[in-house]
Structure 1
Amino acid sequence: MRLAKLLFGLLMVCSSFSLSANDKKLLNRLDDLLEQRESYFEKRRNDIRNINQLLNIETDPVREYELIKKITEKYLPYNADSALLYSRRGVRLAASFQKENTMIEANLRLAQAYILVGLYHESVAILNEYEDVELPPEFQAYFYSINAVLYNTLSSLRITSSIRMKYRHKWEGYERNLMDALPENDLGHHLAKAELYKEIGRLDEAIIILEDILEGVNIEDRVYASTAYTLADAYGRKGLIDKKIDFLTLSSQSDILNGVKEHTSLRELALELYKNNELSRAYHYIKVALDDAVESNAQLRRAEVLEILPLIDHSYQENREKTRKYIMIFSTIVCLLLIILIFGMIFIQKQKRELEASNAQVKDTNQLLSQLNDELKNSKQEVENANKQLMSVNNVQEESIARYLKLCSTYIGKLDDYRMQLLRKGNKSNKEDLLKVLKSKEIVDQELKIFYKDFDQSFLKLYPNFVQSYNDLMVDEAKITLKKNELLNTELRVFALVRLGIEESTQIAEFLRYSITTIYNYRTKARNNAKDGRENFEKHLMEIQ
């Protein structure tokens, strides 16, 4: 009983909590992507290097500003310090232009970078400069979105409840302004609406909006990650944890595919897996999130990770220690079982003598089985001989039919020769009526029709499914449709003769009264239209039964 309890305890420690099959499939895909994430980082670094190369040789200030803007956008989700460095450079360059719109854009981007590195006061100072200013329409949505990110970030810090509520109220106001500033068909408009619906408890409406957005974007698109994260949060608030894990996983996959180090979903996913006793994965994910947060210097993400890392780390280490203890107990049990096995082997050796006595009886039985096996082989040989005889009969039958057809063809040819001979005689004797009759091929044509009909009937008795089987070998546009009361047409007769073993085109041409070129064309056309390729066509044709 104790042994059973120990083994059960070991299995409980080593196995994960119940996750759905879909959860596991998505998590396995995420694990694969995490193994390859350096390649996605390298892609982003290559993009940055390429922009930097252009920036180093650029002499036009306007073009230089555009390149700085691009490289800042590349750095924002990847390295906050570098994003701040280039955004400051962009502000300095914009100041030299003395263009208000360019300066607004550069300052807003700098405020965005300040949020990432944790310089919230500096970000607020910049944004407050434009609070009561009527911004150009092209910057209004950008301004509201940065404010929304700022106050959402501030409300996540360790602050009193009253201040947090103040920040949430500001966040909600900017989120509404953002929604109003964007066209109704804009993704940002729908995302803002879903965020607001989620905040006020209209979760089902938020979920519908977010799922519609996901259906229209690819997982490689940057907007996919934020949408999936928001959808996961909505499902989590409804208590649907499986759905939350699914969309957190998808959001994390999108982050990795985009070479992003500023993770939100991966940290949240690690926490959910920790709650589900998936400690190994939770520990791995939180370590990745911490490493990337440290490398990117995303202050909020680093603080969030460090907040839950000790909890997961403690449980993970505790679980490892339990596993180690159970392995030691299990190893001891295995050693005991090994000792028991040794004594069992000694007992088996004693029983071996009794088994030797039984071997003689088994040997006799084997001899009887050998005799029966020989009889079975003889029966098999008889069956094979019978099959060979049947095949021989079939071959003789087909050969006889072929000879019969050849004789009939020769007979018709002789009739035609006879007609020509009479024609020459009639010409010499000037008998007009005789010439008229003899010039007609009606008799020969009639005989040919009778002959072909007889051939068709004889052949289809042997191969009743030939037409259907032939069409099955052809592509749809090359399938043959017979006319009413028609058994075979010329093309089918060509391949009927091939099936009977008449492979030479000259013989087929002689038989059907066509030129060799015509027969060759029929065969070439059929090979070209064969489903399985021209090389295998006649091989499959000969297999028709």
Structure 2
Amino acid sequence: MNISHRPALLSIGILLTLLPACFHTQAATPSCEPPQLTVEATLDSLDRLIGYRYRFSQKKEREIQTLKQNLRKQLSPAERFRALGYLVDAYRAFSIDSQTVYVKRQIHLADQVKNRDMQVQARLNMVECLYNAGMYKEADELLNQIKRSSLPHYIIPYYYHLKRTLYGLLADYALEPEIRNDYNKHLNLYRDSILQSNPSNSFTYYVVKADELTAQHNYASALQILREALYRGQLNSHDRGIIYYGMAEVFAQTQQNDSTKIYYALSAQCDLKAAVREYVSLHRLAELLFNEGDIERAYNYIKCSVEDARACNARVRSLEFMPVFTIIEEVYQAQIQKQRELSITFTYITCAFCVILLITFVILFFQNHKLNSVKEKLNQTNKHLQTVNNSLTESNHVKEEYLSRYMDQCAVYIDKMDEYRRSLNKLASMGKMEELSKNLKSQNSINNERKMFYAEFDQSFLKLYPDFVEKFNELLVPEARITPKPNSLTPELRIYALVRLGTTDSNQIARFLCYSVSTIYNYRVKIRNSAIGSRDDFEERVMHL
């Protein structure tokens, strides 16, 4: 699309240093990408502006409210017509319906005062409203009603601009090549008229001249003129946005994609900050990014373009954007669906992984539990083995101790028997038969030896088991507990001392203690009856003391 019939724009100030000189000859291929900017940085800046563009619309509304307040004042027809014109300019590319309302008020006022200049200017404003609304036929008919010869000198450039814009729009939407070529011929004629009716140092002249050079494929000169226009004086936002759009078109036709995206983005930033709702730059950028595969940005940009076109009630722009919007939206939604499916798949995989981890954890938990159980059993077995080992050690110690004492006792008895034999032999050799008979009949010697034997047994046992008496009493009820003399045992304790040593047979115990079997039995029954707890395992508990 040619830049001369690009909708009116408001733009932001951009540093002039972004456009360094880059042409030396007319035939040179333009290459003038701002060194300070990158594509990604420019697009990021544009993304942020889109996020809060409503702020600029609110600012625009406040400015319009200020202009409306002037209409409440007592104004002359000329002043009121001018005030209405300010509102027409304010609503241009912001709200076509509101712009049309105030143009109609201009027409009504001009007809009331019958001012020819006002009537012409108001109707030219209506032509602009008509073609912005897509009513090309009505715009052409109204424009043909206005005679060129009847126009004031200062309105002629505006008249040529409307003619050139209308034919440009008709050429854009013409289906037949012959009709399109005819419209383009009229477009070129009115472009020349614009150049002739504007000073060669005016902004309009620079922009239209660059448009002409671009149409002639003289891209280097077109870009050079736009650059010169950018450097001229204090440009407003509207003018700067137009220049950036023209430069983007030149870069697009010379297939410099990065520079094209940068300048479309700069122009779009001007549109957004100026609260312009009817624009082309962002739409062009969306198409370019879509073709390069940046679907998400393309969708956001074309969606923003459609929303603003609808808010402006720019029906032509809405119809122009919708096919592209539909295609991009379908691809975008397909991409979102694919991402959603991938997300769901990832979620399933994550859940499966979590289940596997949980199962692994459970298995490890039970394995650890089994290991702990085995470890506990091993510890118990080890303790049992340690107990058995201690018992064996103790048993060996007891055996060694008893063997030693047994050997000593045997040696002592042999010595005593030999001494007793000699004493008896001496009595016999001396003829003291009566005294010999008396000694043989006496039990004193045997009783003394038995007492000494039991005393030796008690001392030996208590040395081996010093806490036997205390632990044995713990197995009995308090009233049946036994308190022996120091370093000695009572008959009951002596019986169970033999049990502790492994002698459980009553006959053997009776022979050892020189008691009858019934006496030993009675002692044992008496003690078992006094036991705490079960009587059946009492002696087994004694054996473990």
TM-score category, normalised to shorter length: 0.5 to 0.7
Structure with greater Cα Rg: 2
Correspondent of 2:279 among 250, 255, 263: 263
Looking at structure 2, the residues matched to 304 and 237 of structure 1 have their Cα atoms a distance apart, in angstroms, of 21
Cα deviation per residue 1:286-335 (whole Å; 9 max; x = unaligned)?
A: 11111111121112211111121111111111111221222223233333
Counterpart in 2 of 1:285?
A: 301
Structure with greater proportional helix content: 1
- Shift in Å, 1:58: 3.1
Letter in 2 for 1:283: Y
- Aligned pair in 2 of structure 1 residues 305, 250: CA closer, same or farther (>3 Å)? same
Q: Give the aligned partner of residue 104 of structure 2.
A: 88
For 1:294, which of 310, 314, 317 is the aligned residue? 310
Say if 1:59 and 1:184 are closer, same or farther in 2 by CA, change over 3 A: closer
User: Unpaired runs of 5+ in structure 1?
Assistant: 1-19, 354-545
- Residue 224 (structure 2) pairs with residue 208 (structure 1): yes
Distance 1:108 1:53 in 2: 25
Q: Residue 57 of structure 1: which of 73, 79, 103 is its match?
A: 73
User: Aligned-pair distance for 1:277?
Assistant: 1.3
Correspondence 1:368-517 to 2 at 5 A: none
Query: Are residues 1:169 and 2:185 paired?
Result: yes
What CA RMSD, in Å, does the superposition of the two structures yield over aligned residues?
2.6
Structure 2: distance between partners of 1:290 and 1:167: 28
TM, length-normalised to structure 2: 0.57
% identity of equivalent residues: 24
Instruction: Give the distance between the partners of 1:26 and 1:344, measured in 2 at CA.
Output: 51
Instruction: Give the structure 1 partner of residue 436 of structure 2.
Output: none
Partner of residue 321, structure 2: 305
Equivalent in 126, 135, 138 of residue 151 of structure 2:
135
The residue that corresponds to 1:15 in the other structure is: none
Cross-structure match for 2:239: 223
Cα distance in structure 2, aligned partners of 1:241 and 1:312 = 20
Gaps of 5+ in 2: 1-35, 372-545
Tell me the CA shift for residue 131 of structure 1. 5.0
| Distance in 2 separating the partners of 1:67 and 1:328 | 60
**Cα deviation 1:234-268 (Å, max 9, x = unaligned):** 11111111111111111110011111111211111
CA contact (8 A) 1:217 1:224 kept: no
* 3-state DSSP of counterpart to 1:261: coil
CA contact (8 A) 1:220 1:258 kept: no
1:332 alignment counterpart: 348
Q: Distance in 1 between matches of 2:98 and 2:105?
A: 11
Tell whether the 8 Å contact from 1:191 to 1:210 is kept in structure 2 after alignment. Answer: yes
Q: Tell me the CA shift for residue 279 of structure 1.
A: 1.2
Task: Establish whether residue 152 from structure 1 lines up as the match of residue 168 from structure 2.
Answer: yes
Specify the alignment match of 1:124 in structure 2: 140
- Bigger relative CO (Cα 8 Å, ≥ 6 apart): 2
Query: Could you give the per-residue CA deviations for residues 136-160 of structure 1, whole angstroms, max 9, x where no partner exists?
Result: 3211211111112111112222522
- Tell me: CA distance 1:218–1:269, structure 2 relative to 1, closer, same or farther (3 Å): farther
Mapped partners of 1:260, 1:316: distance in 2: 26
Q: Residue in 1 aligned with 2:210?
A: 194
Matches of 2:258 and 2:66 in 1, distance apart? Answer: 42
- Partner secondary structure for residue 159 of structure 1: coil
CA distance in 2: counterparts of 1:261 and 1:24, whole angstroms: 24
Once the two structures are superposed, what CA deviation does each residue of 1:380-434 show, in whole Å capped at 9, x if it has no partner?
xxxxxxxxxxxxxxxxxxxxxxxxxxxxxxxxxxxxxxxxxxxxxxxxxxxxxxx
Deviations 1:31-55 (A, max 9, x none): 2111221111111111111111221
Pick the aligned partner of 1:245 from 256, 261, 266: 261
Letter in structure 1 aligned against 2:106: G
Q: Tell me whether 1:27 sits opposite 2:57 in the alignment.
A: no
Tell me the secondary structure at the aligned position of residue 56 of structure 1: coil
- Report the number of matched residues: 334
TM-score normalised to structure 1 length: 0.57
Structure 1 residue matching 2:72: 3-state secondary structure: helix
CA contact 1:219–1:254 (8 Å) conserved in 2 = no
**Which whole-Å deviations, capped at 9, do the CAs of 1:171-196 have from their partners, x for residues lacking one?**
12111211121111111101001101
Is the contact between residue 83 and residue 113 of structure 1 (CA under 8 Å) also seen in structure 2?
A: yes
User: Cα deviation per residue 1:466-522 (whole Å; 9 max; x = unaligned)?
Assistant: xxxxxxxxxxxxxxxxxxxxxxxxxxxxxxxxxxxxxxxxxxxxxxxxxxxxxxxxx
Measure how far apart 1:214 and its partner are.
Answer: 3.0
